[in-house]
Amino acid sequence: MVRNVGGAGSAGGEPIFGNSDEEGIPSSPLPSARRPDDRFQASTAARTGASFRAGADPDGLRKPSPGKTADVTDAGIEESYFADLEAAIAAVYPADGAYPDEVYQHPPVLRLRETFEDRPASPYNPLGLRFPRRLQAFPYLYNVRKISADGSKQGNERISEQTAVATHLDLAKQYNLAYVALLRAANGSPEALEQVKSTFNEEKIFGDARIDTARLNHGNEQRLSLAMLGHLSLDVLRSPDREVTTAARIQVLEILRNHFDVDLIAKAVTDKAENGLSLQRKDDVYDLVPQSLLTDPAQRDVSHTHLFFKNEQIKQLFVENLHNDRWTVDIHGCAVDLSRKYAQETVQILIGLLRLAHDRIPRPSVFRAVVGLTMLDERRKQAVFGAGASYRNGGVSSDTNADDAS
């Protein structure tokens, strides 16, 4: 029997320019053990080997880099960092594809936002990546009508639940490996770039994971493949790890622009069936609005899912870029204005737009705007993507970009 896994959900729309008293801002204080945004914590946060990103690292495979307060310089990302990532993947995924019995009894849900508070984070997300929605659980990935307990019904038209669970995890493994390859490509490896192009342009990732694409839920393996690439690119861009250089964060977006169809990726990433970025208003997230735009001290402890569209500076930005004939926001105009007025807050605000659904915000345009930031002049790119940008420091911008040599 196929197990029921709850939907990822998405935020509902609300008037962008209306009053803020429709649902109101919660008046009760938040619990002291509140969660920050579930993946992207401050890049300067202290880490230990036992807390490697959001996933588990039971063997302490990754050790922190004591004393590092800025990016690795001209040499780029050090090889030891890639080795740590690969070791973390190898530690949780069996080389022979034989998963323990408990995996089939309780199939993993690979989500970062812990809706089920009694469930620990899955060890099968060792790098703490964000997954497209279809990749978060096997009943999302496969058409459940083509899965049976033993795969015996209706001849070859069905697969067993055990096969569905195992191949879902095989695809998750390939997804983790693709992150490392993409990061290597962003670090300047031509071999890794060719691997990334093969993996996603030719959809090789499904064959490597033994996936029968004819049984995929919603079909359209190309859309899922491009959604995976888009999510991974944002993971590289917003990595909390200091070892990931500014140059690599910019280069990963330039790879999309130079070697892939950005329009198709933008549509795939924001498609309802694929979008693993969406937030609900009930989610407690605190890194959507840059700290410099929170002028009211009372707002510091309010979830940003309530505050984002009510923030005066953000709201004014939308008003200035509103298509009056269509009542939609000109995202390109917003991005240009952001890079001029709030350069260090630009990426954080655009990602906030990408994660919060609104009927006046064309989400594919937001993704394209993020990629388009790579066409800014070098000085402004350094301000937008550099080590002092708010998206890399838990919402706090700083004046460290001048020292960011990566």
pLDDT digits (tens, 9 = 90+) for 211-254: 988 888 887 899 999 999 999 999 999 999 999 999 999 999 99
Q: What is the residue whose two structure tokens read 């402890």?
A: 301
Q: How far apart are CA 341 and CA 317, in angstroms?
A: 10
pLDDT at residue 400 greater than cutoff 60: no
What does the pLDDT look like over 87-120, one tens digit per residue?
Answer: 999 999 999 889 999 999 999 988 765 444 445 6
Interval 136-160 mean pLDDT: 76
Which pTM value belongs to this model?
0.79
Q: How far apart are CA 61 and CA 59, in angstroms?
A: 5
Q: Tell me, what's the pLDDT at 150? A: 62
What does the pLDDT look like over 181-212, one tens digit per residue?
Answer: 999 999 999 999 999 999 998 889 999 999 98
What does the pLDDT look like over 308-356, one tens digit per residue?
Answer: 777 888 888 777 776 655 557 788 888 998 999 999 999 999 998 888 8
Lowest mean per-residue pLDDT among 49-58, 278-287, 378-387: 49-58
Mean pLDDT over all residues of the chain? Answer: 76
Q: How far apart are the first and last CA of the chain?
A: 52
What does the pLDDT look like over 47-64, one tens digit per residue?
Answer: 223 333 333 333 333 333
Greater model confidence, 316 or 7? 316
**Which residues in 289-320 are b (16+ Cβ under 10 Å) and which e?**
bbbebbeeeebeebbbbbbbbbbebbbebbee
Interval 248-269 mean pLDDT: 97
Interval 377-398 mean pLDDT: 92
Nearest to 113 by CA among 230, 25, 11, 20: 11
Q: Tell me, what's the pLDDT at 286? A: 74
Q: Tell me, what's the pLDDT at 60? A: 31
Give me the torsion for CA of 383, 385, 391, 396, rounded to 10°. -20
Q: Tell me, what's the pLDDT at 121? A: 67
Q: How far apart are CA 61 and CA 87, in angstroms?
A: 7
Residue 204 makes CB contacts below 8 A (sequence gap 6+) with 198
pLDDT at residue 21 greater than cutoff 60: no
> In the structure encoding, which two tokens stand for residue 286, read together?
């605190």
Q: Tell me, what's the pLDDT at 29? A: 30
Q: Which segments of 162-240 are extended strands (E)? A: none
> In the structure encoding, which two tokens stand for residue 350, read together?
């655009």
Residue 387 makes CB contacts below 8 A (sequence gap 6+) with 43, 70, 71, 246, 398, 400, 401, 403, 404, 406
Interval 383-406 mean pLDDT: 78
Backbone angles phi, psi at 147, to 5 degrees: -125, 135
Beta strands 322-323; 328-329: pairing state: antiparallel
Max Cα-Cα span within the chain: 65
